[in-house]
Amino acid sequence: MMIEKIVQLALEEDLGLGDITSDNVFTPQDRARAVIVAKEDMVLCGMEIARQTFWLVDEELIFKPLKHDGDFIKKGEKVLELEGRSLSILKGERTALNFMQRMSGIATASREYAQITKPYGVLMVDTRKSQPGMRKLDKYAVRCGGARNHRMSLSDSVMIKDNHIAAAGSIGAAIARIKASIGHTPKIEVETTNLDEVRQALEAGADIIMLDNMTPQQAAEAVQFIAGRAVTEISGGITKENLAAYCAAKPDVISSGALTHSVPSKDLSLKITEYIK
């Protein structure tokens, strides 16, 4: 239901009161066939969202997928075919492509990052730095690329960050308040920026310790100090270029907002291939 709402809002944004161009070129009787083609190499994502987009415009459109989410697509390959009212194809075109292009960009980046971390046995995950209102789609695209998801929302897990610590007075105080309130079952993650904070987090009983914005050398020292007493997560300033250096620090997890917050969209294009009389 939430995905349908996202698609409906996107269509309302794009269509407004109608398509003034197509509405005055075509009649409801005009029909066509079309294809969507990859204009560059990519990991494809967003096929089901495209289907929902076109079917919310016109449930009688024939939607034929030729590829699937998670497939690696080469430039020039067709990913889907459409048949139906020309008006409907054109009204759904831009919205469907916008979803597919962004999601394919995220899936492609996630694959590139995950391929770097895999040989080290390090789990690559995303963050909450997603497009507002689009998080479910962004995180689905991350999984299609072969990486994993961090928490979906603030309610998913405990993560004590710098502002929690500043307001509570210390790492120990923040963890103590959490433990007094939520019981023994949820795991507690704490963000740390130096070895002293790592020590405090361990002493207070943190289950997961995030090593935030540390250099690869600092992170390696912290991982060695923790020595398996907590799950280690490196985050902050992670790029494809420095990812291998952070993997060499041997953390359990590396998280990066770069998978979703600034990934370039991939290029896909819809082409009308035939007018049906």
Of the candidates 198, 179, 195, which has an alpha carbon nearest to the alpha carbon of residue 187? 179
Say what the alpha-carbon torsion angle 47, 48, 51, 52 is, to the nearest 10 degrees: -140
CA distance 125 to 118: 12
Catalytic positions, written as ranges: 129
What's the token pair of residue 183? Answer: 């019981």
Amino acid letter at 98? Answer: N
CA distance 195 to 122: 21
CA distance 141 to 30: 35
